[in-house]
Amino acid sequence: MAGNEPTRTPLIKGVHGAPGVYELTWSMGPGPAGRATWQYGQEQIRGARHIVWRRIGTHDIFTGP
């Protein structure tokens, strides 16, 4: 991974219209799929990325990043 870009997979992508904000999708069975938005924050531990979770839930979280 270079800079502040996450590893690209079909489950992680940038949020359209919100630079620096990413979305993550997962599914754990027959219920609704889970989704979360996040961004990188300022490093808290030297050499370790710091993630700021913005929203976690179902598809309904996408009313705004």
- In the predicted model, what is the mean pLDDT of residues 32-54? 92
Task: Tell me the pLDDT band of 1, cut-offs 50, 70 and 90.
Answer: very low
Whole-structure pTM value: 0.69
- In the predicted model, what is the mean pLDDT of residues 37-55? 94
Task: Tell me the pLDDT band of 44, cut-offs 50, 70 and 90.
Answer: very high
- 26, two tokens: 């997962």
Own/partner long-range contacts of 56-59 (Cβ < 8 Å, ≥24 apart): 58/32, 58/33, 58/34, 59/32, 59/33, 59/35
Task: Tell me the pLDDT band of 8, cut-offs 50, 70 and 90.
Answer: low
Task: Tell me the pLDDT band of 59, cut-offs 50, 70 and 90.
Answer: confident
